[in-house]
Amino acid sequence: MKRAFAFFFVFALLAGLIGGVSWFQFVFKPQMIKGFIAKMAPPPQAVSVVEAKTETWVPQLPAIGTFKPYKGIDVAPQVGGIVTTLNFDSGQEVAQGAVLLTIDDSTEQADLKSGLATMKNADLALRRQQQLISGGNTSRATVDQAQATRDTAAASVERSKAIIAQKTLQAPFPGRLGIRKVDIGQYVSPGLALVTLTQLDPIYVDFPLPEQSLGAIQTGQAVEIRVDGQDTLFKGKVASVDARVSQDTRSVLVRAEVENGKKTLLPGMFANVAVLSGAPIETVTVPKTAVSYSLYGDSAFVVVPAPPKAEAGAAQAAEAGQPDLIVERRFLRTGQTRGDRIAVLDGIKAGERVVSEGQIKLQPNAHVVIDDRGGLQSRDPLPKQ
Protein backbone atom coordinates (compact mmCIF):
# COMPACT_ATOMS: atom_id res chain seq x y z
CA MET A 1 0.00 0.00 0.00
CA LYS A 2 2.79 2.36 0.90
CA ARG A 3 4.63 1.54 -2.31
CA ALA A 4 1.53 2.31 -4.42
CA PHE A 5 1.02 5.61 -2.62
CA ALA A 6 4.64 6.58 -3.17
CA PHE A 7 4.44 5.68 -6.86
CA PHE A 8 1.25 7.78 -7.27
CA PHE A 9 2.88 10.70 -5.49
CA VAL A 10 5.97 10.61 -7.70
CA PHE A 11 3.82 10.35 -10.81
CA ALA A 12 1.67 13.33 -9.79
CA LEU A 13 4.82 15.34 -8.98
CA LEU A 14 6.35 14.60 -12.37
CA ALA A 15 3.07 15.38 -14.20
CA GLY A 16 2.77 18.70 -12.40
CA LEU A 17 6.37 19.57 -13.15
CA ILE A 18 6.02 18.68 -16.83
CA GLY A 19 2.74 20.60 -17.08
CA GLY A 20 4.26 23.68 -15.46
CA VAL A 21 7.25 23.65 -17.77
CA SER A 22 4.98 23.21 -20.81
CA TRP A 23 2.68 26.08 -19.73
CA PHE A 24 5.69 28.35 -19.23
CA GLN A 25 7.26 27.34 -22.54
CA PHE A 26 4.23 27.36 -24.81
CA VAL A 27 1.84 29.85 -23.14
CA PHE A 28 3.46 32.28 -20.76
CA LYS A 29 6.74 32.77 -22.63
CA PRO A 30 5.15 33.53 -26.07
CA GLN A 31 2.74 36.00 -24.44
CA MET A 32 5.61 37.65 -22.61
CA ILE A 33 7.64 37.97 -25.85
CA LYS A 34 4.62 39.25 -27.76
CA GLY A 35 3.94 41.91 -25.16
CA PHE A 36 7.57 42.93 -25.08
CA ILE A 37 7.66 43.32 -28.87
CA ALA A 38 4.36 45.23 -28.85
CA LYS A 39 5.80 47.74 -26.43
CA MET A 40 8.83 48.33 -28.63
CA ALA A 41 8.21 51.20 -31.13
CA PRO A 42 10.06 51.08 -34.46
CA PRO A 43 12.78 53.71 -34.83
CA PRO A 44 11.77 56.89 -36.67
CA GLN A 45 12.46 56.84 -40.42
CA ALA A 46 14.74 59.51 -41.87
CA VAL A 47 13.04 61.41 -44.70
CA SER A 48 13.57 64.54 -46.78
CA VAL A 49 10.79 67.13 -46.72
CA VAL A 50 9.88 70.28 -48.65
CA GLU A 51 7.23 72.90 -48.02
CA ALA A 52 4.26 73.23 -50.33
CA LYS A 53 4.29 76.75 -51.72
CA THR A 54 2.01 79.05 -53.66
CA GLU A 55 3.03 79.97 -57.20
CA THR A 56 1.40 82.09 -59.88
CA TRP A 57 0.70 79.91 -62.90
CA VAL A 58 -0.97 80.78 -66.18
CA PRO A 59 -3.44 78.05 -67.28
CA GLN A 60 -2.00 76.04 -70.14
CA LEU A 61 -3.21 73.54 -72.70
CA PRO A 62 -0.34 71.06 -73.19
CA ALA A 63 0.14 69.25 -76.51
CA ILE A 64 2.72 67.42 -78.60
CA GLY A 65 3.43 68.94 -82.01
CA THR A 66 5.61 68.78 -85.10
CA PHE A 67 7.31 71.66 -86.86
CA LYS A 68 6.20 72.41 -90.42
CA PRO A 69 7.87 74.77 -92.92
CA TYR A 70 6.35 78.19 -93.43
CA LYS A 71 7.05 77.59 -97.13
CA GLY A 72 8.65 74.46 -98.51
CA ILE A 73 8.96 72.90 -101.96
CA ASP A 74 10.89 70.36 -103.96
CA VAL A 75 12.66 72.26 -106.74
CA ALA A 76 11.92 70.31 -109.95
CA PRO A 77 12.11 71.20 -113.66
CA GLN A 78 9.05 71.50 -115.87
CA VAL A 79 11.00 70.27 -118.90
CA GLY A 80 13.78 67.71 -119.29
CA GLY A 81 17.33 68.15 -120.46
CA ILE A 82 21.02 68.15 -119.57
CA VAL A 83 22.12 70.31 -116.61
CA THR A 84 24.69 72.84 -117.84
CA THR A 85 25.28 75.06 -114.76
CA LEU A 86 24.85 74.69 -110.99
CA ASN A 87 24.88 77.81 -108.85
CA PHE A 88 24.23 76.40 -105.36
CA ASP A 89 25.58 74.03 -102.72
CA SER A 90 23.79 71.85 -100.22
CA GLY A 91 22.51 73.78 -97.19
CA GLN A 92 23.02 77.19 -98.80
CA GLU A 93 20.83 80.19 -97.99
CA VAL A 94 19.44 81.76 -101.17
CA ALA A 95 17.48 84.92 -101.92
CA GLN A 96 14.26 85.12 -103.86
CA GLY A 97 14.91 84.99 -107.62
CA ALA A 98 18.39 83.47 -107.28
CA VAL A 99 19.29 81.25 -110.28
CA LEU A 100 19.84 77.71 -109.01
CA LEU A 101 20.66 75.85 -112.22
CA THR A 102 20.17 75.94 -115.96
CA ILE A 103 19.34 73.19 -118.43
CA ASP A 104 20.70 73.00 -121.96
CA ASP A 105 18.43 75.11 -124.19
CA SER A 106 20.40 75.14 -127.47
CA THR A 107 17.58 73.45 -129.38
CA GLU A 108 15.02 75.91 -128.08
CA GLN A 109 17.31 78.84 -128.90
CA ALA A 110 17.49 77.58 -132.53
CA ASP A 111 13.70 77.20 -132.61
CA LEU A 112 13.39 80.74 -131.29
CA LYS A 113 15.57 82.15 -134.08
CA SER A 114 13.53 80.23 -136.65
CA GLY A 115 10.32 81.47 -135.13
CA LEU A 116 11.53 85.07 -135.10
CA ALA A 117 12.40 84.87 -138.81
CA THR A 118 9.02 83.34 -139.61
CA MET A 119 7.24 86.00 -137.58
CA LYS A 120 9.19 88.79 -139.33
CA ASN A 121 8.19 87.46 -142.74
CA ALA A 122 4.57 87.04 -141.62
CA ASP A 123 4.55 90.58 -140.26
CA LEU A 124 5.77 92.00 -143.60
CA ALA A 125 3.15 90.00 -145.46
CA LEU A 126 0.44 91.32 -143.17
CA ARG A 127 1.50 94.93 -143.69
CA ARG A 128 1.55 94.43 -147.47
CA GLN A 129 -1.98 93.03 -147.46
CA GLN A 130 -3.19 95.88 -145.22
CA GLN A 131 -1.82 98.40 -147.76
CA LEU A 132 -3.48 96.56 -150.66
CA ILE A 133 -6.89 96.39 -148.98
CA SER A 134 -6.82 100.11 -148.29
CA GLY A 135 -6.66 100.63 -152.09
CA GLY A 136 -9.25 97.95 -152.79
CA ASN A 137 -6.74 95.63 -154.50
CA THR A 138 -7.18 92.54 -152.29
CA SER A 139 -9.93 90.75 -150.45
CA ARG A 140 -10.67 90.85 -146.75
CA ALA A 141 -10.18 87.08 -146.54
CA THR A 142 -6.61 87.43 -147.74
CA VAL A 143 -5.89 90.01 -145.06
CA ASP A 144 -7.42 87.77 -142.40
CA GLN A 145 -5.29 84.86 -143.57
CA ALA A 146 -2.15 87.01 -143.33
CA GLN A 147 -3.18 88.12 -139.83
CA ALA A 148 -3.66 84.49 -138.71
CA THR A 149 -0.29 83.50 -140.15
CA ARG A 150 1.39 86.35 -138.32
CA ASP A 151 -0.34 85.45 -134.98
CA THR A 152 0.68 81.80 -135.36
CA ALA A 153 4.30 82.79 -135.86
CA ALA A 154 4.14 85.10 -132.80
CA ALA A 155 2.67 82.29 -130.69
CA SER A 156 5.50 79.98 -131.78
CA VAL A 157 8.04 82.58 -130.67
CA GLU A 158 6.33 82.97 -127.27
CA ARG A 159 6.32 79.20 -126.82
CA SER A 160 10.05 78.99 -127.51
CA LYS A 161 10.73 81.80 -125.03
CA ALA A 162 8.59 80.08 -122.39
CA ILE A 163 10.47 76.78 -122.77
CA ILE A 164 13.80 78.60 -122.56
CA ALA A 165 12.64 80.36 -119.38
CA GLN A 166 11.56 77.02 -117.87
CA LYS A 167 15.08 75.70 -118.32
CA THR A 168 16.40 78.29 -115.86
CA LEU A 169 15.34 77.31 -112.31
CA GLN A 170 15.07 80.18 -109.83
CA ALA A 171 14.23 80.30 -106.11
CA PRO A 172 10.57 81.41 -105.82
CA PHE A 173 11.15 82.63 -102.24
CA PRO A 174 14.10 83.09 -99.86
CA GLY A 175 15.11 80.08 -97.80
CA ARG A 176 17.57 77.31 -97.12
CA LEU A 177 18.38 74.61 -99.65
CA GLY A 178 18.58 70.95 -98.69
CA ILE A 179 20.87 68.20 -99.96
CA ARG A 180 21.67 68.55 -103.67
CA LYS A 181 20.56 65.58 -105.77
CA VAL A 182 21.93 66.65 -109.17
CA ASP A 183 25.28 67.25 -110.85
CA ILE A 184 26.42 69.06 -113.97
CA GLY A 185 25.94 66.95 -117.09
CA GLN A 186 23.15 64.89 -115.58
CA TYR A 187 19.94 64.42 -117.55
CA VAL A 188 16.90 65.44 -115.53
CA SER A 189 13.34 64.54 -116.41
CA PRO A 190 10.29 66.75 -115.81
CA GLY A 191 9.12 66.65 -112.18
CA LEU A 192 12.33 65.12 -110.77
CA ALA A 193 13.10 66.63 -107.32
CA LEU A 194 16.57 68.18 -107.50
CA VAL A 195 16.77 69.92 -104.10
CA THR A 196 14.43 71.12 -101.34
CA LEU A 197 13.89 74.79 -100.58
CA THR A 198 12.50 75.72 -97.15
CA GLN A 199 11.72 79.07 -95.57
CA LEU A 200 12.61 78.66 -91.88
CA ASP A 201 11.74 82.07 -90.43
CA PRO A 202 9.03 82.08 -89.29
CA ILE A 203 8.11 78.41 -88.89
CA TYR A 204 4.85 76.60 -88.17
CA VAL A 205 4.15 74.01 -85.48
CA ASP A 206 1.09 71.78 -85.86
CA PHE A 207 -0.40 70.04 -82.81
CA PRO A 208 -3.72 68.36 -81.90
CA LEU A 209 -5.96 69.40 -79.01
CA PRO A 210 -8.98 67.47 -77.70
CA GLU A 211 -12.36 68.75 -78.82
CA GLN A 212 -13.14 69.71 -75.18
CA SER A 213 -10.52 72.48 -75.53
CA LEU A 214 -12.17 74.14 -78.52
CA GLY A 215 -13.84 76.72 -76.29
CA ALA A 216 -10.49 77.74 -74.80
CA ILE A 217 -8.51 78.09 -78.05
CA GLN A 218 -8.59 80.99 -80.48
CA THR A 219 -6.28 82.65 -82.96
CA GLY A 220 -3.74 85.05 -81.54
CA GLN A 221 -3.24 83.22 -78.22
CA ALA A 222 0.33 83.01 -76.95
CA VAL A 223 2.15 79.70 -77.30
CA GLU A 224 5.30 78.48 -75.53
CA ILE A 225 7.38 75.71 -77.12
CA ARG A 226 10.29 73.62 -75.94
CA VAL A 227 12.32 71.15 -78.00
CA ASP A 228 14.63 68.35 -76.98
CA GLY A 229 18.28 69.28 -76.77
CA GLN A 230 17.70 73.05 -76.50
CA ASP A 231 17.20 75.12 -73.35
CA THR A 232 15.61 78.03 -75.21
CA LEU A 233 11.91 78.73 -74.63
CA PHE A 234 10.41 79.60 -78.01
CA LYS A 235 7.34 81.81 -78.16
CA GLY A 236 4.70 82.15 -80.84
CA LYS A 237 0.99 82.59 -81.38
CA VAL A 238 -1.91 80.52 -82.66
CA ALA A 239 -2.23 81.19 -86.39
CA SER A 240 -5.24 79.02 -87.29
CA VAL A 241 -7.54 76.28 -86.06
CA ASP A 242 -8.75 73.50 -88.35
CA ALA A 243 -12.36 73.69 -89.50
CA ARG A 244 -13.20 70.11 -88.49
CA VAL A 245 -12.64 67.61 -85.69
CA SER A 246 -11.10 64.23 -86.47
CA GLN A 247 -13.66 61.45 -86.07
CA ASP A 248 -10.91 58.95 -85.19
CA THR A 249 -9.14 60.89 -82.43
CA ARG A 250 -11.81 63.46 -81.48
CA SER A 251 -9.17 66.17 -81.66
CA VAL A 252 -8.75 69.34 -83.68
CA LEU A 253 -5.54 70.36 -85.45
CA VAL A 254 -4.08 73.73 -84.41
CA ARG A 255 -1.28 75.60 -86.17
CA ALA A 256 0.95 78.12 -84.41
CA GLU A 257 3.48 80.50 -85.94
CA VAL A 258 6.87 80.75 -84.21
CA GLU A 259 9.70 83.20 -84.73
CA ASN A 260 12.87 81.36 -85.77
CA GLY A 261 15.43 84.09 -86.28
CA LYS A 262 18.41 81.86 -85.47
CA LYS A 263 16.92 79.08 -87.62
CA THR A 264 17.59 76.41 -85.01
CA LEU A 265 14.10 74.94 -85.45
CA LEU A 266 13.74 72.64 -88.44
CA PRO A 267 10.70 71.03 -90.07
CA GLY A 268 9.92 67.60 -88.65
CA MET A 269 11.30 68.32 -85.17
CA PHE A 270 9.38 67.19 -82.07
CA ALA A 271 7.81 70.01 -80.02
CA ASN A 272 6.38 70.28 -76.50
CA VAL A 273 3.67 72.89 -76.88
CA ALA A 274 1.78 74.85 -74.20
CA VAL A 275 -1.03 77.22 -75.20
CA LEU A 276 -1.55 80.00 -72.63
CA SER A 277 -5.31 79.98 -72.17
CA GLY A 278 -6.24 82.26 -69.30
CA ALA A 279 -5.32 84.77 -66.61
CA PRO A 280 -2.66 83.91 -64.00
CA ILE A 281 -3.96 82.13 -60.88
CA GLU A 282 -2.49 81.28 -57.46
CA THR A 283 -1.68 77.56 -57.27
CA VAL A 284 -0.29 75.34 -54.49
CA THR A 285 2.61 73.29 -55.85
CA VAL A 286 4.87 70.49 -54.59
CA PRO A 287 7.75 68.60 -56.22
CA LYS A 288 6.67 65.75 -58.47
CA THR A 289 8.80 63.37 -56.39
CA ALA A 290 6.49 63.98 -53.41
CA VAL A 291 3.44 62.49 -55.14
CA SER A 292 2.80 58.74 -55.28
CA TYR A 293 0.56 57.45 -58.06
CA SER A 294 -1.60 54.34 -57.81
CA LEU A 295 -4.87 52.86 -59.03
CA TYR A 296 -6.55 54.17 -55.88
CA GLY A 297 -5.54 57.76 -56.52
CA ASP A 298 -2.63 60.15 -56.08
CA SER A 299 -1.31 60.65 -52.56
CA ALA A 300 1.47 62.24 -50.54
CA PHE A 301 2.83 61.99 -47.00
CA VAL A 302 2.52 65.17 -44.90
CA VAL A 303 4.70 65.62 -41.81
CA VAL A 304 2.73 66.70 -38.71
CA PRO A 305 3.44 66.76 -34.92
CA ALA A 306 2.80 63.44 -33.17
CA PRO A 307 -0.05 63.25 -30.62
CA PRO A 308 1.02 63.54 -26.94
CA LYS A 309 0.32 59.85 -26.16
CA ALA A 310 3.07 58.62 -28.49
CA GLU A 311 5.65 58.42 -25.69
CA ALA A 312 7.96 55.89 -27.33
CA GLY A 313 8.30 57.92 -30.51
CA ALA A 314 8.80 61.09 -28.48
CA ALA A 315 11.64 59.50 -26.54
CA GLN A 316 13.41 58.35 -29.69
CA ALA A 317 12.92 61.72 -31.36
CA ALA A 318 14.30 63.45 -28.25
CA GLU A 319 17.39 61.26 -28.43
CA ALA A 320 17.84 62.39 -32.08
CA GLY A 321 17.48 66.05 -31.01
CA GLN A 322 14.31 66.60 -33.08
CA PRO A 323 10.63 67.07 -32.24
CA ASP A 324 8.37 64.03 -32.37
CA LEU A 325 6.83 63.90 -35.84
CA ILE A 326 4.58 61.49 -37.72
CA VAL A 327 3.32 61.36 -41.31
CA GLU A 328 -0.24 61.51 -42.59
CA ARG A 329 -1.18 60.05 -45.96
CA ARG A 330 -3.23 62.60 -47.93
CA PHE A 331 -5.08 61.74 -51.11
CA LEU A 332 -4.71 64.56 -53.62
CA ARG A 333 -6.41 66.09 -56.60
CA THR A 334 -3.55 67.14 -58.85
CA GLY A 335 -3.39 69.49 -61.81
CA GLN A 336 -0.82 70.44 -64.40
CA THR A 337 2.93 70.03 -64.10
CA ARG A 338 5.61 72.65 -64.78
CA GLY A 339 9.17 71.41 -64.86
CA ASP A 340 9.77 69.41 -61.67
CA ARG A 341 6.67 70.71 -59.81
CA ILE A 342 3.02 69.69 -59.88
CA ALA A 343 -0.10 71.66 -58.94
CA VAL A 344 -2.19 70.36 -56.02
CA LEU A 345 -5.82 71.40 -56.31
CA ASP A 346 -6.98 69.71 -53.10
CA GLY A 347 -5.39 67.82 -50.20
CA ILE A 348 -2.41 70.00 -49.23
CA LYS A 349 -2.21 73.61 -48.10
CA ALA A 350 0.61 76.05 -48.66
CA GLY A 351 3.25 75.83 -45.92
CA GLU A 352 2.67 72.17 -45.06
CA ARG A 353 5.70 69.93 -45.20
CA VAL A 354 5.54 66.95 -47.53
CA VAL A 355 7.94 64.03 -47.83
CA SER A 356 9.92 64.31 -51.05
CA GLU A 357 12.16 61.26 -50.54
CA GLY A 358 11.78 58.05 -48.53
CA GLN A 359 8.04 57.45 -49.05
CA ILE A 360 8.51 53.81 -50.03
CA LYS A 361 9.39 52.83 -46.44
CA LEU A 362 6.60 54.82 -44.76
CA GLN A 363 3.24 53.82 -43.37
CA PRO A 364 0.49 56.17 -42.15
CA ASN A 365 1.21 57.54 -38.64
CA ALA A 366 4.82 56.34 -38.78
CA HIS A 367 7.34 58.36 -36.74
CA VAL A 368 9.92 60.22 -38.80
CA VAL A 369 12.94 62.44 -38.40
CA ILE A 370 13.90 65.03 -40.97
CA ASP A 371 17.20 64.45 -42.74
CA ASP A 372 18.40 67.76 -44.14
CA ARG A 373 21.19 66.00 -45.97
CA GLY A 374 18.70 64.17 -48.20
CA GLY A 375 18.31 64.85 -51.87
CA LEU A 376 19.39 63.22 -55.05
CA GLN A 377 23.01 63.93 -55.85
CA SER A 378 23.88 64.78 -59.44
CA ARG A 379 26.26 62.42 -61.17
CA ASP A 380 29.68 63.57 -62.18
CA PRO A 381 29.87 64.18 -65.93
CA LEU A 382 31.34 61.33 -67.87
CA PRO A 383 34.72 62.00 -69.49
CA LYS A 384 34.58 62.72 -73.19
CA GLN A 385 36.07 60.10 -75.44
Q: What is the pLDDT of residues 48-98, one digit of tens each?
A: 889 999 988 888 889 999 999 999 999 999 999 999 999 999 999 999 999
Please, what are the domains in the chain? 45-57+281-370 (2.40.420.20), 61-69+202-276 (2.40.30.170), 105-166 (1.10.287.470)
Alpha helices in 139-269 (DSSP H): 140-166
Residues 65, 254: Cα–Cα separation, whole Å = 9
Q: What is the pLDDT of residue 378?
A: 45
Closest alpha carbon to 47 in 378, 375, 377: 375
**What is the number of H-type helices and E-type strands within the chain?**
5, 20
Buried b (16+ CB within 10 A) or exposed e, 65-95: bebebbebbebebebebebeebebeeeeebe
- Averaged over 30-41, what is the pLDDT? 63
Q: What is the pLDDT of residue 336?
A: 84
Residues 6, 199: Cα–Cα separation, whole Å = 118
Residues in the chain: 385
Residue 381 phi, psi (nearest 5): -65, 140
The strand pairing partners of 205, in sequence order, are: 67, 256
Residues 132, 114: Cα–Cα separation, whole Å = 27
- Averaged over 143-147, what is the pLDDT? 86
Q: What is the pLDDT of residues 234-279, one digit of tens each?
A: 999 999 999 999 999 999 999 999 999 899 999 999 999 999 987 8
Average predicted confidence (pLDDT) for the chain: 85
CB atoms within 10 A of CB 272: 14
Strand order across the 187-188 sheet: 168-170, 99-103, 81-86, 187-188
pTM over 0.75: no
209 burial level (CB within 10 Å; 0-12, 13-18, 19+): buried
Q: What is the pLDDT of residues 45-54, one digit of tens each?
A: 888 889 999 9
Phi-psi domain of 200 (left: phi exceeds 0; alpha: psi -120 through 50; beta: other): alpha
Q: What is the pLDDT of residues 156-181, one digit of tens each?
A: 999 999 999 999 999 999 999 999 99
